[in-house]
Amino acid sequence: MQTTSPTRADQLKASNLFAFPEKIGDYFVFSLRVGLLLCFLASISLAIFSAFSPNSHWLSIPSRTQAQPEFRTSGHERTNISHILFGIGASIATWRERSRSTNLWWDPKSTRGFVWLDAKPDNQTSNISGSIPCRVSEDWTRFKYSSSQSAVRIARIVYESFKLRVPNVRWFVMGDDDTVFFTHNLVSVLARYDHNQLYYIGGNSESVEQDVMHAYEMAFGGGGFAISYPLAARLVERMDGCLERYYNFYGSDQRVWGCVSEMGVPLTRLRGFHQVRYFCRD
């Protein structure tokens, strides 16, 4: 009995993956298999290329806290007190008494910044300020509010401080007129962070009630908070719009927090920023 060797076509039919379709409906299945195989091979090739190529940006994930090049500040020296611009929120009514707190830590030879008032001070108020320069907040009465109009004004201190274009500023540090800063500690802490990145640094209130009422992710203004130069530059672009959107917020620090949160910048918590109220009885 004579046997015949299998033909080339018979050999190809033995493979399910590459079997030639015998019916018209099988052409679709065959094309689908080939397409999936090509996609798989292309995906593997792209993954290998991205993993080993140093200049590849195919799979790079942008950092939400990366500063833009145009916001970079010059200088490579370690951060010192001259790189900080303080913004102190005060009013004509409160500054007479509370200026004593600021005078405890303000050094006219090294500290830079301003006390921001709600009206032009008279000569007597100016003499109280001593060596601490005063400025009057501008263009804040046009914003709507639900509880405190002064909170709108104080929230814009970051905006107005940046607009002054004071040279060689790396950090904007905000505080109330009764906030006491230990400047040596503050400088040593801020020097740990890259001032060319987006940083929002502060602490919660030491009152759980206040944290629950407002937010645990918010830096409370009574203890002070720091904003890096690049973040301040972005806040300037958004601040007025944020004040319109968050007019129902209570405090100035809550308004700043709302605007920072829109940009996806988280709070960097530092326990050195304390907000606590002490009540003394006679």
pLDDT in tens, 242-266: 999 989 888 888 899 999 999 999 9
If one counts every other C-beta atom within 10 angstroms of the C-beta of residue 145, the result is 19
Residue 17 scores a pLDDT above 70: no
Task: Select, from the ranges 2-16, 50-64, 229-243, the one with the highest average predicted confidence (pLDDT).
Answer: 229-243
pLDDT in tens, 83-115: 999 999 999 988 888 888 898 899 999 999 999
Report whether 234 contacts 183 (CB < 8 A).
Answer: no
If one counts every other C-beta atom within 10 angstroms of the C-beta of residue 169, the result is 21
Q: Where are the domains of the chain?
A: 8-52, 77-269
Nearest alpha-carbon partner for 274 in 191, 196, 192, 189: 189
The CATH topology of domain 77-269 is: Spore Coat Polysaccharide Biosynthesis Protein SpsA; Chain A (3.90.550)
pLDDT in tens, 164-197: 999 999 999 999 998 999 999 999 999 999 999 9
Average pLDDT value for residue range 46-65? 49
pLDDT in tens, 121-149: 876 655 555 578 999 999 898 998 888 88
Residue 65 scores a pLDDT above 50: no
User: Where does the pLDDT of residue 60 fall: very low under 50, low under 70, confident under 90, or very high at 90 and above?
Assistant: very low
Taking the alpha carbons of 142, 148, 153, 155 in that order, is the dihedral positive or negative? Answer: negative
What pLDDT score does 222 carry?
76
